[in-house]
Amino acid sequence: MTTVVLFFMMSQTMPEYRVERYMIRDSALCDDWFARDKFLHFSACAAISGFTYLFSIERLSRGETEGAAYSVSFTALVGLGKELYDKKHKGRFSWKDLLWDGAGLMVGYIAFIR
């Protein structure tokens, strides 16, 4: 009976530890340069820079220079804010994600603003 209780207690605690340990290892090692996550960072920042530029020009009636400044600033803050959120809640800050955010911002700036 003691063996059954001990086995039951181990089976209740062991999977949680293994899953948590696997998730930590998985998040630390799976930060590839060309992962799906990086494409999402790139495309989201390119879209945000274009949309904020058009919004500031059309809806807020700002000049092109102000619209470009708002767009670049807002997009950079969104990218940095996302990484700070990941650091606080997921325990990791990815410089690779931030680099892809910057690349998306540049492409969005070139495509939508210039």
Q: Which regions of the chain are under pLDDT 50?
A: 1-22, 24-26
**C-alpha distances in angstroms, 105 versus 4, 48, 58, 59, 65?**
59, 8, 20, 21, 16
**What is the structure's pLDDT at 109?**
96
**What is the structure's pLDDT at 3?**
41
**What is the structure's pLDDT at 8?**
40
Cβ atoms within 10 Å, residue 42? 21
**What is the structure's pLDDT at 30?**
72
**What is the structure's pLDDT at 31?**
87
**What is the structure's pLDDT at 28?**
53
Cβ atoms of 48 and 78 closer than 8 Å: yes
Q: Give CA–CA dist 51/32, Å, rounded.
A: 28
Q: Give CA–CA dist 57/53, Å, rounded.
A: 6
**What is the structure's pLDDT at 29?**
58
**What is the structure's pLDDT at 15?**
46
